[in-house]
Amino acid sequence: METGLIAIAAAIAIALSTLGPGIGQGIAASKAMEAIARQPEASKDIRSTLILSLGLMEALTIYGLLIAFMLVAQL
């Protein structure tokens, strides 16, 4: 029973750690494109800020993957 719970916890960790940042990245990219459309002269600053924020969101996904690997190692 304990191994089943650990497997479910690993699956939930992966699911939530990809779902949240995935939605966040979509919203951030959408808003960045709107901002670039409104102020094309600021596109370089907006793009660099977007890439930085997307990298930080992707780090959350990697942390979730790390937690899932740690849980699977306990099986």
Give the pLDDT score at 67.
92
Q: Which amino acid is at 17?
A: S
How does pLDDT run across 2-55, given as a tens digit for each residue?
889 999 999 999 999 999 999 999 999 999 999 999 999 999 999 999 999 999
Q: Tokens 């699956």, residue?
A: 11
Task: Decide if 28 contacts 54 (C-beta within 8 A).
Answer: yes
**Confidence label for 75 from pLDDT (cuts 50, 70 and 90):** confident
> Domain 2-73: which topology?
F1FO ATP Synthase (1.20.20)
Mean pLDDT, residues 54-66: 93
User: Domain residues of the chain, as ranges?
Assistant: 2-73
Which runs of E-coded beta strand occur in the chain?
none
Give the pLDDT score at 1.
64
Nearest to 21 by CA among 54, 65, 70: 54
